Structure 1
Amino acid sequence: MIIEKLKWRYATKKFDVSKQLPQEKLNVLKEAFNLTALSYGLQTLKMVVIEDQEVREKLVPLSYGQRQVADASHLLILCIQNEIDDKDVDQHFDAVKALRNTPDDILNPFRKGLKTTINNMPSDKKYNWATRQAYIALGNLMTVCAVENIDSCPMEGFIPSELDKALELDNHGLSSVLLLPVGYRAEDDMFASLKKVRKPLSDTIIEL
């Protein structure tokens, strides 16, 4: 039951360094990221997957010493594009046309309207919009992790500019937004056995 899986998950503080995600589990996470529901259907996010232990060790100081970055099986980095423009819109609608055989007379008004929306968006608003998409992907990945019995730890606590420099993400036109170490919890992680603290539904749900 999905609710039991969500009760099982927690922000893992200590990973078992001896356990690695099998490739099929990693593939599930890649597919889940790619299937995330995003605004306008545009996929202006990228996910960097790092398994190399040496590389991840170098990122620990840039993550305020949080060992999850290096001790997890893999580190997932959710990134946004530095530029979002007409080519992203065209790529999306070209794919729609190719896959669905939708005629141009139907697609073109939507294509033109979306280009206008994006081109008229101030750069700071565009950045904030893109960043929110990364959080949607994060939520989706965390839920899928729970269903697949994969432990994870969502992290905002790192220095994006330094991490981007270390990984040369600018060469890919990307900026990091969120980290998600994934793997399996250590048996002695004291946080694994703590009861989940949540408000009662009556305090968080409003039915009209």
Structure 2
Amino acid sequence: MNTIDKLKWRYATKKFDTTKKLSYSQINTLKEAFNLTATSYGLQTMKLIVLEDSQKRNDILPAAYNQKQVVDASHLLVICIQNEVSGDDVDSYYKQLHQERQTPNEILEPYKNQLKGVIQNMSEANREEWTIRQAYIALGNLMTVCAFESIDSCPMEGFIPSEVDRILNLNDFNLKSVLLLPVGFRAENDMFASLKKVRKPLNEVILEL
């Protein structure tokens, strides 16, 4: 399939085949794809939880309004953001930048200080909203990679984050959940798999100026 065919093949999978599991290689591809997601300033203030444990997923099910994809998929991906973003994150990033690229610190220092100022001048609410937007970029990236790898997925906003945080003890890791992405393989009897995609004509969504 070409690029467009693969994107047409993708849909929000409603029913997963419980007998099929992603391979180690496929899971590793998704991990790498998450890590390569574009993020604001390159700070990567997110983490991805790859959850296979069936008991934990059953515990999460009520918090996800009993959407069965959570337990029926091969794995449940939980996209999380940091509870706090601070100057320490900037220091860590620029330290790694110096190590990886050997860029002199005297060149990096002005940019590092400028970014610290940007973060410090944000309100707590703005910092959280800014970080949440990065999570949505990661979600889109993962969904696209899934389509190219013939992996089915179902993006989910419909869950109770505080409950998922409690079940997974995310506060211990300075994290909070933002999005869920069950991944695996569609069931043969998922009626939604064969439905035609409904999208507006290109001339209604694209402006060429």
Shared topology, TM-score over 0.5? yes
- Partner secondary structure for residue 185 of structure 1: coil
1:161 corresponds in structure 2 to 162
The one-letter code of the counterpart of 1:155 is M
Distance in 2 separating the partners of 1:55 and 1:174: 17
1:142 corresponds in structure 2 to 143
The structural deviation recorded for 1:86 is 1.0
Q: CA RMSD in A?
A: 0.5
Distance in 1 separating the partners of 2:94 and 2:164: 33
2:28 corresponds in structure 1 to 27
Within a 5 Å distance, the mapping from 1:39-118 to structure 2 comes to 39-118=40-119
The structural deviation recorded for 1:87 is 1.1
- Partner secondary structure for residue 139 of structure 2: helix
Distance in 2 separating the partners of 1:72 and 1:18: 9
The structural deviation recorded for 1:105 is 1.4
Summarize deviations over 1:108-154 as a string: whole Å, max 9, x none.
00000000100111000001000000000000000000000000000
The one-letter code of the counterpart of 1:102 is T
- Partner secondary structure for residue 133 of structure 1: helix
The one-letter code of the counterpart of 1:25 is Q
Distance in 2 separating the partners of 1:40 and 1:188: 44
- Partner secondary structure for residue 195 of structure 1: coil
The structural deviation recorded for 1:66 is 0.1
Distance in 2 separating the partners of 1:192 and 1:41: 36
Summarize deviations over 1:87-121 as a string: whole Å, max 9, x none.
11011111110010100111000000000100111
Distance in 1 separating the partners of 2:54 and 2:170: 18
1:183 corresponds in structure 2 to 184
The structural deviation recorded for 1:79 is 0.3
Distance in 1 separating the partners of 2:25 and 2:144: 17
- Partner secondary structure for residue 179 of structure 1: strand
1:200 corresponds in structure 2 to 201
Distance in 1 separating the partners of 2:164 and 2:204: 39
Count residues with an aligned counterpart. Answer: 208
Within a 5 Å distance, the mapping from 1:11-22 to structure 2 comes to 11-22=12-23
- Partner secondary structure for residue 43 of structure 1: coil
Provide TM-score, normalisation by structure 1. Answer: 0.99
Q: Is the Cα–Cα contact under 8 Å of residues 56 and 167 in structure 2 kept in the other structure?
A: no
The structural deviation recorded for 1:54 is 1.4
**Gap regions ≥5 residues in structure 1:** none
2:6 corresponds in structure 1 to 5
Distance in 2 separating the partners of 1:17 and 1:66: 14
